[in-house]
A and B are shown apart, each in its own frame.
Chain A
Amino acid sequence: MLTFEDFPVGRLGTFGPRHVTRDEILAFAAEFDPQPMHLDDEAARTTMLRGLSGSGWHLCSLMMRMMFDAFIGQAASLGSPGVNELKWLAPLRPGDDLTLDVEVTEARVSNSRPENGIVTFRAVARNAQGEALCEMISPILIRRRQGAQVGTQG
């Protein structure tokens, strides 16, 4: 199990690829974001995004899954209090193969719960051409190694 200590500040890695199908884009949009640019090729052509694109929230959810598969699934994660900042930079397209660049920008022990750490991640999702689609900065609570809060004695 990965703990707080396994996430020092610096580059964590590049993860993926995750192939995104047209059917997935349509299914997510139908349930959560049924706007024409996410559902209908013809209607999408005339919008600012010029063609069918995935919901930005779908992209966020895919980034969550990629982070789960990459490291959160093996970590003593306690959940996240939120997202500091998120930028949608370019549209998610059917057939995109996503990769995720992840770095730790801050790692500190929680003041209120010293048995836990707060690790802030910066994650950038890119398509196969390397174009950045989304940048997210978000803290995650991760348990410290057993006994870490006791100090350095012994």
Chain B
Amino acid sequence: MPFFEDIEIGQRRELGSFTFTADDIKRFARQFDPQRFHLSEEEGRNSLFGGLAASGWHVASVCMKMIVAEGQRAAREAAARGERIAIWGPSPGFRELRWSVPVLAGDTISFASEIETRRTSDSRPEWGIVQIRNRGTNQRGELVFSFLGVAFVPRRNAPA
């Protein structure tokens, strides 16, 4: 993962894509969100979603899966080049999460991250604070999911 100094506003990372199967959708829903339109094709068709729809929390969790996988890929590459790897801090949260279009069984969602703001922390000079807009787009190019996440990113030359 990059250090704060390596991050620029507008920087974009492609995170890869994920296909939501009916089985995946129902398995997540049984555990965390057993609303009828997440469990049955027929109930989904009769709902506002128009088909068996993934729980919004399933879509968000898959986005996290893609973020982690891309971060680990980038860290391996940096390590192979002999570079120092920045360990990001835990996120304090997010804003503006939108489930704008339903994710239906069989949909393939491509995820991407874009840096929206960056600033240094006044109270913790060893950290920078970055806001990242994460987006998911379906196979028809429709924006289906987005949120503005906050991350603590270590500074390269942090005061000890």
Binding site for B on A (CB under 8 A): 28, 31-35, 37, 47-49, 55-58, 60-62, 64-65, 68, 72-73, 77-88, 91, 141
Q: Is B47 in contact with chain A by the CB < 8 A criterion?
A: yes
Instruction: Give the residues in chain B near A91, CB-CB below 8 Å.
Output: 90
Knowing A33-B68, A57-B60, say if A83 contacts B33 (CB, 8 Å). no
Binding site for A on B (CB under 8 A): 28, 31-35, 37, 47-49, 53, 55-57, 60-62, 64-65, 68, 72, 87, 89-100, 102, 147
On whether the beta carbons of A72 and B97 are closer than 8 Å, the reply is: no
| Secondary structure type dominating chain A contacts | mixed
On whether the beta carbons of B99 and A65 are closer than 8 Å, the reply is: no
A-B contact count, CB below 8 Å?
Answer: 99
Give A84 to B99 CA distance when docked, in angstroms.
11
| Secondary structure type dominating chain B contacts | mixed
On whether the beta carbons of A57 and B90 are closer than 8 Å, the reply is: no
Other A-B pairs, 12, CB within 8 Å; known A60-B60, A86-B94: A32-B61, A61-B33, A61-B55, A64-B32, A77-B35, A79-B99, A79-B102, A83-B97, A85-B93, A86-B97, A88-B90, A88-B93
On whether the beta carbons of B97 and A33 are closer than 8 Å, the reply is: no
A-B contact pairs, 23 of them (CB 8 A): A33-B68, A34-B68, A35-B68, A37-B90, A55-B64, A57-B61, A58-B61, A61-B28, A61-B55, A62-B32, A64-B32, A65-B31, A65-B34, A72-B35, A79-B35, A79-B49, A79-B56, A80-B99, A81-B98, A81-B100, A84-B95, A84-B96, A87-B92
